Structure 1
């Protein structure tokens, strides 16, 4: 949850969606008690306890508030209070006990839903996000609960796979393990897909694409059956209200639909910070994890074209060492055309969205994507591969530019379109305004989620009566 700790876009969703729902639903967030969470919740009070089972230790449940949203914190120092990130240690390796850690989180959600955590509050529905808590849907069924579960898949490629021998430690019998076994390993994500009442993804197009073998990650047959029975759908993520070029505290200068001068000021600030000279050509940006999925090799492949045509490329992010090295080499090769900010800084990333003319997003697959929506809100036009949520959020030639194949030649042709667009001020301004006006608030997504919650609850009632 981005209020405390963030590892990817899920942290933004976990912070923003509950805020969009809180006036219309009694929503609470359950999050492990990482060091950052404990440090950020000095008023934490204990409200419940989850007893030990098999190899999963007992955990306390604390409660605090984050922006008006009640947050339940799973307190177990031996599992969660350690260095590194939520998923990996300081060297980037998965924690060896991740199966126990996230089974503890999943089981706590199920125990709370069953009313067995000693708490006064009990949910009518569990909304589970990705593999770290997907096992909760299975625990619910194994414990005989009738509380329905909705599983949101943010990225099917991350499935939470663990040795089959871990089943006993997690309190899973051999018979129960059969439904959650994927090619000889326990799959937390498969457990959620099999046992949840409904599965949704973070865009309509991605929900369709994962039912085929190309993007189904080996679960396409299962997901295809869910789609056929009406148990698979998609809702595009939103972005929060802080992404406003008129008020954002991180920007060098503010701007709006009618006054563009502020974009120029932010562009100049980005150029100076990255050691790039003043240029009236277009500034292309990459704001991304530097990983293969995001197509960074494709962005690097078009850098020479951008430089030769009088443009500049600004890159911020960290990730795979090989790609980091390739990006660094680009900046040395084209010192006046390519600038790199290693690592990540929220404020500078926002300046890049506000100052760049185009955002490169050649992702090989993209369940939803948030960067393209951030860019649009700030009048920066996405250049995106037509996949997943990028299809649902970028209208080609109106709010950005799309290309159909994830290869360098297709991206080069789209970059050529961008240069042509940049040279026609009227067209560029019209597209910027259309992008900035595109509806993308969490209030819209929150309304869709409430409808889905009601649908899942309504479907569960007849089943129970039968």
Structure 2
């Protein structure tokens, strides 16, 4: 169809360019590849968790190496930002998947975002995955199959003939069918699939195969069959050319029965053949207090008093503990009532910010009621409040049962707040026990309490506390570090693909 103009919109962040040698920059520019990110979240537009942060920051960090564009579903949050959108084409329906349009937006910093426009699937209140009450949409398999099929169309050059990706990078289960549809269509464009959280697998019944237009092989162990169901996550793992996950330690953990969520055998095989890589997430440099031009950060004591006032906590000279988290089972927050007395006996206070499962919210509300002026809980999330809490706190509590990477521990370290966390996933990679924070081994109140006691002992030794704070503030890994291994991986896969198909199959973007 002809091009048309509509007026939805988005907002965007600045894309920093890191200084490297002039010759190296020119070499990178001449070898720029076209990379398509396929993600269900983008922090500036629609976000439910850490995936949105990664999907917003990593393409920008990769901008020094490649031409990166992002594909996202057309949720109301995406459509309502007020930026012009150009309609590129209409894609026909397929099996039980409705027709859709593909729109494109150019964001203020130059990042191009493609949007899958299908109001019957995406124009709904709530989160990207469910309603206002946290219930998953029953047709999520249709919603994200349509999304994956649109990604395959972009990969084939059907949508935008002058920008056909050299590689597709799909993220988590909502994008799992992108590499699968590409493979079933016989496409040779290489793909990467990143596992952000193995526990969310995107399951649906086998009888959904006809409406998703899946071939018979999809129902096999080598396809996406998973204990009598279909797993979008397994589809991504099996059909992508390479799998990554968000920390080195989590890449090891998911090959074990404890953390593998039933996919440990497949992931162990991928790892043994070099098909699974752990690449730690970074954080945006805007989180560093010295880089935050929006706010003038006062000293830690002033921020502490601000947090005390926010949560109606008793001002004293004891340690201030904070929790800033999604309130879900994964985060291990059921241990907090069991260690509350340890915190209070040390003269500490606890401020909690977050929202999530109703049962966890109720538990924390009741806990705050039992300890007025010592424990405070606010339901919700506000980034400025979170930053003031990181800046004003002495310790951040992260008793996660598992944590693929985690970002909050690095945010806290930027502000000299020492994380107290379980030794799991990316927490084990980003926290040095006794140097930049405190780690504990077991998901038990006893193990957690021991770490809190160690932390309070350090709090009473000002010189040691200050030394740990300085080390913590130097610890965070930023996105320009994380982008380099992705660049290396992309180039390897693209070169291998060209070697198999011949140089005429795919062109590079110059300049």
Q: TM-score normalised to the size of structure 2?
A: 0.87
2:399 and 2:448 in contact (8 A); partners too: yes
Whether 1:200 aligns to 2:244 is yes
Query: Which of 89, 92, 99 lines up with 2:134 in the alignment?
Result: 92
Deviation at 1:23, TM superposition (A): 2.5
SS at structure 2 position matched to 1:27:
strand
C-alpha distance in structure 1 between counterparts of 2:273 and 2:216, whole Å: 28
**Runs of 4+ displaced beyond 6 Å:** none
Deviation at 1:14, TM superposition (A): 0.8
Hey, what does 1:144 align to over in structure 2?
186
Whether 1:455 aligns to 2:497 is no
Q: Does the C-alpha gap of structure 1 residues 247 and 173 become closer, same or farther in structure 2, counting only changes over 3 Å?
A: closer
Hey, what does 1:360 align to over in structure 2?
397
Deviation at 1:42, TM superposition (A): 2.6
C-alpha distance in structure 1 between counterparts of 2:142 and 2:335, whole Å: 38
How does 1:433-448 map onto structure 2 within 5 Å? Answer: 433-448=470-485
Query: Which of 258, 261, 276 lines up with 1:232 in the alignment?
Result: 276
Hey, what does 2:297 align to over in structure 1?
254
2:75 and 2:124 in contact (8 A); partners too: yes
Q: Deviations over 1:157-210 (max 9, x none)?
A: 000001111111111123333211111111000001111100010000000110
Deviation at 1:454, TM superposition (A): 1.4
2:283 and 2:476 in contact (8 A); partners too: no
Hey, what does 1:37 align to over in structure 2?
78
Hey, what does 1:17 align to over in structure 2?
58
C-alpha distance in structure 2 between counterparts of 1:241 and 1:291, whole Å: 27
Q: Deviations over 1:330-360 (max 9, x none)?
A: 1111112101111111111111111110000
1:206 and 1:234 in contact (8 A); partners too: yes
Hey, what does 1:273 align to over in structure 2?
310
C-alpha distance in structure 2 between counterparts of 1:68 and 1:424, whole Å: 49
Hey, what does 1:339 align to over in structure 2?
376
C-alpha distance in structure 2 between counterparts of 1:363 and 1:300, whole Å: 15
C-alpha distance in structure 2 between counterparts of 1:68 and 1:375, whole Å: 30
C-alpha distance in structure 2 between counterparts of 1:175 and 1:271, whole Å: 58
Whether 1:301 aligns to 2:345 is no
Deviation at 1:429, TM superposition (A): 0.9
Hey, what does 2:26 align to over in structure 1?
none
Deviation at 1:371, TM superposition (A): 0.4
Deviation at 1:118, TM superposition (A): 4.8
Hey, what does 1:370 align to over in structure 2?
407
2:148 and 2:176 in contact (8 A); partners too: yes
Hey, what does 2:324 align to over in structure 1?
287
**Root-mean-square deviation over aligned CA pairs:** 1.4
Q: Does the C-alpha gap of structure 1 residues 151 and 94 become closer, same or farther in structure 2, counting only changes over 3 Å?
A: same
How does 1:107-256 map onto structure 2 within 5 Å? Answer: 107-178=149-220, 179-248=223-292, 254=297
SS at structure 2 position matched to 1:55:
coil
2:339 and 2:445 in contact (8 A); partners too: yes
C-alpha distance in structure 2 between counterparts of 1:439 and 1:272, whole Å: 29
Q: Does the C-alpha gap of structure 1 residues 278 and 15 become closer, same or farther in structure 2, counting only changes over 3 Å?
A: same
C-alpha distance in structure 1 between counterparts of 2:453 and 2:266, whole Å: 41
C-alpha distance in structure 2 between counterparts of 1:49 and 1:444, whole Å: 38
1:41 and 1:64 in contact (8 A); partners too: no
1:289 and 1:319 in contact (8 A); partners too: yes
1:141 and 1:195 in contact (8 A); partners too: yes
2:410 and 2:476 in contact (8 A); partners too: no
Deviation at 1:247, TM superposition (A): 4.8
- Worse-superposed segment, 40-49 or 432-441: 40-49
